[in-house]
Amino acid sequence: MSDDVEIRRRVLTANLDLVRLGLVIFTWGNASAVDRERGLMYIKPSGVDYARMTPDDIVPVRLADGTVASGNLRPSSDTPTHLALYRAWPRVGGIVHTHSEYATAIAQAGVPIPAQGSTHADYFHGDVPVTRGLTRSEVEGDYESRTGDVIIERFVQGQMDPIAVPGVLVDQHGPFSWGVTVEQAVMHAGTMEHLSKMFVHAAAVAPRLRRVPRYLLDKHYQRKHGPKAYYGQKPG
């Protein structure tokens, strides 16, 4: 199986998984993966119904200039955002954008998802941040590219590692997540939605915000992702 066929299959599966997990309704989302050796990003076509999408519909886009490498379908309108993140973060191999209910509600409120407990710490080494709002000129200009820029800006300002904090809320827009693979990006999208629900429920029970102590945050993150990680089984 060629690399092209395999990556198309994986990107299609990732997009369908967003529907299966309840993170996407209608055509409100997209997943992509990058092949850095060939300089291509593969992404969902714009506005195409998930139910009739095939691997051949997945659109290859040149990482260098954003042009479509083959086929007649237009890529997702969020393509420039995905490209900006891939160019900025070489370790990222897959990106997901959704308008999942709880994470989008929190993005519309313009607040981060705080690290309140060990479940959060298993996947995010700190709060899920929220970006600043885009300016009028940014929205009226190259909007999707500027969306990528404000995400990158937020991570630079916060001195955050995008692998350790694999997601963000774009103010008044919605969540983006990523990972080393597109499959991991989907998992992080689902995780962000679950963390968002828990944040809302915790705030209803105890309105005063409680944060997980740093030592517990570090412990749970490092036991899964650190150099001496011991969660799960050894490879091989």
Catalytic residue IDs: 122, 231
Q: What residues contact 64, with CB distance under 8 A and at least 6 apart?
A: 39
CA gap 233, 97 in Å, rounded: 30
CA gap 1, 170 in Å, rounded: 37
CB-CB contact of 130 with 168 (8 Å): yes
Distance between first and last Cα of the chain:
24
CB-CB contact of 47 with 76 (8 Å): no
CB-CB contact of 92 with 131 (8 Å): no
Radius of gyration of the chain (CA): 18
CA gap 57, 10 in Å, rounded: 12
Residue 143 DSSP one-character state: H
Q: What residues contact 174, with CB distance under 8 A and at least 6 apart?
A: 97, 98, 99, 100, 103, 104, 107
CB-CB contact of 10 with 75 (8 Å): no
